[in-house]
Amino acid sequence: MSAYADAYSRSMADPQSFWLEAAEAIDWYEKPGRALDDSEAPFFNWFPDGVLNTCYNALDRHVAQGNGDRLALVWESAMANRAERYTYADLLDLVSRFAGALRNLGVGRGDRVLIYMPMVPEAAIAMLACARLGAIHSVVFGGFAAPELASRIDDAEPTVIVAASCGLEPGRVVEYTPIIRAALEKTRHRPDSTIILQRKQSMSELGEGEFDWDAVISAAEPVECEPVMSTDPLYILYTSGTTGKPKGVVRDNGGHAVALAWSLTNVYNVQPGETMWAASDVGWQVGHTYTVYGPLICGATTVMFEGKPVGTPDAGAFWRIIEKHKVKVLLTAPTAIRAIKRVDPDGKCLAGHDISSLETLFLAGERLDPDTYSWAGNMLGVPVVDHWWQTETGWPACANLRGLEPMALKPGSPSVPVPGFDIRVLSSDGNPVQTGTEGMLCIKLPQPPGMLSTLWKDKERYREAYLSRFDGYYLTGDSGLIDEDGYVFVLGRTDDVINVAGHRLSTGVLEAVLAAHPAVAECAVIGVPDALKGQVARGFVVLKSGAGIAEDTLRQEIIASVRAEVGPVAAFRELYVVDGLPKTRSGKILRRSMRAIAEGRDEALPATIENPEIFTSLSPILQGSHTNH
Q: Which residues bind ligand AMP (CB under 6 A)?
A: 239, 285, 364-368, 386-391, 414, 476-478, 490, 493, 499, 504
Binding status of residue 78 toward ligand COA by CB under 6 A:
no
Instruction: Calculate the alpha carbon distances from 616 to 538, 578, 579, 619, 622 in Å.
Output: 17, 12, 12, 5, 10
Taking CB under 6 A as the rule, which mask of x and - marks residues 491-510 in contact with ligand COA? ----------xx--------
Which residues on adjacent β-strands are paired with residue 574? 538
How near is the Cβ of 210 to ligand AMP at its closest, in Å? 31
Give 390-406 as a DSSP string: -TTT-S-SEE--TTT--
How near is the Cβ of 475 to ligand AMP at its closest, in Å? 11
50: DSSP letter: -
How near is the Cβ of 441 to ligand AMP at its closest, in Å? 9
How near is the Cβ of 369 to ligand AMP at its closest, in Å? 10
Q: Residue 204 and residue 133: Cα distance in Å, rounded? A: 28
Give yes or no for a contact between 549 and 510, defined as CB atoms under 8 angstroms apart. Answer: no
How near is the Cβ of 541 to ligand COA at its closest, in Å? 21
CA dihedral angle for residue 570, residue 575, residue 580, residue 585, rounded to 10 degrees: -20
Which of 329, 387, 388, 338 lies closest to 361, judged by CA?
A: 329
φ/ψ region of 42 (left if φ > 0, alpha if ψ in -120 to 50, else beta) reads: alpha
Nearer to ligand AMP, 295 or 414 (CB): 414
Instruction: Calculate the alpha carbon distances from 531 to 72, 205, 324, 395 in Å.
Output: 36, 42, 31, 27
Binding status of residue 569 toward ligand COA by CB under 6 A:
yes
Binding status of residue 143 toward ligand COA by CB under 6 A:
yes
Give yes or no for a contact between 59 and 98, defined as CB atoms under 8 angstroms apart. Answer: no
b vs e for 611-626, b when ≥16 Cβ sit within 10 Å of the residue's Cβ? beebbeebeebbeeee
| Chosen residue from 130, 333, 513, 520 binding ligand COA by CB under 6 A | 333
Give yes or no for a contact between 482 and 435, defined as CB atoms under 8 angstroms apart. Answer: yes
Give yes or no for a contact between 529 and 535, defined as CB atoms under 8 angstroms apart. Answer: yes
Closest residue to ligand COA, based on beta-carbon distance: 502
Taking CB under 6 A as the rule, which mask of x and - marks residues 277-296 in contact with ligand COA? --xxx--x-x----------
Rule CB under 6 A: which of 14-73 touch ligand COA?
A: none
Which residues on adjacent β-strands are paired with residue 584? 609
Binding status of residue 568 toward ligand COA by CB under 6 A:
yes
Q: Which helix (H) or strand (E) holds 407?
A: none
Q: Residue 44 and residue 15: Cα distance in Å, rounded? A: 13
Nearer to ligand COA, 533 or 583 (CB): 533
| Chosen residue from 92, 195, 364, 523 binding ligand COA by CB under 6 A | 364
| Chosen residue from 96, 335, 415, 535 binding ligand COA by CB under 6 A | 335
332 binds, among ligand AMP, ligand COA, none (CB under 5 to 8 A by kind): ligand COA
Nearer to ligand AMP, 414 or 446 (CB): 414
478 binds, among ligand COA, ligand AMP, none (CB under 5 to 8 A by kind): ligand AMP
The residues of the shown chain that bind ligand COA, judged by CB under 6 A, are 118, 142-143, 167, 169, 174, 279-281, 284, 286, 308-309, 332-333, 335-336, 339, 364-365, 501-502, 568-569, 571
